[in-house]
């Protein structure tokens, strides 16, 4: 039996691969999706079944992530190891990628999207921020909870001295961990069309 999880800790059960043994009587209606948590010194990843809940809301409602059956990539030397479980403070996250179901259609509002770039340490993130029609995008980010979703997003980071690039439908960024947030152009969001303005650490 798994131990009781504190109320401020979100448990996410991962598995190291997207492949599963076919069991006709145990087919899930919720597909496996890739889950990646980007931290200052490591990248934690695996595959997960996400329910209809908005992951952004879940992350903002909890102080910690309790991840099980994960792969951990060290950004220092690029090596990867497996771990049965790890607890990560949401304050230490730079971003979270999860290509799962989008939020409830009934709760969506008419918005305007803005191309933005976010820099945090060795990370460069590009994507589209959705705001109210007349809202200032930078001011809108500052008024929100810490974890903010970007659509049509990508993330670039350094691992083991190598620059890596990963694209996703949605990346949730931690605005509290950013060094710089700026509005850019649609052309800037094209791969290799954007360069950081702050020094890489």
Q: What is the pLDDT along the chain (201 residues), one digit of tens a residue?
A: 445 556 688 888 887 766 554 444 545 556 677 899 999 999 999 988 766 457 888 899 999 999 999 999 999 999 999 999 999 999 999 999 976 555 554 455 678 999 999 999 999 999 999 999 888 999 999 999 999 999 999 999 999 999 999 988 899 999 999 999 999 999 988 866 788 887 766
The half-sphere exposure of 167 on its side-chain side, counting CA atoms within 13 A, is 6
Structure tokens at 164: 């890596």
CATH of 105-189, one of 3.50.50.60, 2.60.40.1150, 2.30.30.100, 3.30.70.20: 2.30.30.100
| Model confidence, pTM | 0.83
Fold topology of 9-98: SH3 type barrels. (2.30.30)
Residues of the chain within CATH 2.30.30.100 domain(s) are 105-189
Asked if 80 contacts 72 with a C-beta cutoff of 8 angstroms, the reply is: yes
**Coil vs helix vs strand at 161:** coil
Instruction: In whole angstroms, give the CA distance from residue 172 to residue 96.
Output: 5
Instruction: In whole angstroms, give the CA distance from residue 123 to residue 8.
Output: 27
Instruction: In whole angstroms, give the CA distance from residue 171 to residue 152.
Output: 8
């Amino acid at each position: 039996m798994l131990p009781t999880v504190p109320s401020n800790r979100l448990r996410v059960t991962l598995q190291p691969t997207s492949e599963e043994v076919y069991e006709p009587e145990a087919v899930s209606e919720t597909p496996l999706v890739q889950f990646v948590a980007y931290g200052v010194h490591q990248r934690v990843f695996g595959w997960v079944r996400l329910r209809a809940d908005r992951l952004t809301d879940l992350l903002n409602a909890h102080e910690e992530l309790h991840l099980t059956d994960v792969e951990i990539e060290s950004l220092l030397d690029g090596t990867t190891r497996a771990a049965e479980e790890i607890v990560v403070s949401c304050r230490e996250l730079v971003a979270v990628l999860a290509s799962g179901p989008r939020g409830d259609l009934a709760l969506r509002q008419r918005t305007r999207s803005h191309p933005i770039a976010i820099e945090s340490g060795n990370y460069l993130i590009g994507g589209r921020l959705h705001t109210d029609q007349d809202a200032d995008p930078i001011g809108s980010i500052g008024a929100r909870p810490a974890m903010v979703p970007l659509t049509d997003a990508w993330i670039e980071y350094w691992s083991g001295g190598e620059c890596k690039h990963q694209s996703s439908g949605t990346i949730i960024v931690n605005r509290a961990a950013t060094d710089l947030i700026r509005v850019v152009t649609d052309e800037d969001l094209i791969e290799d069309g954007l360069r950081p303005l702050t020094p890489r650490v």
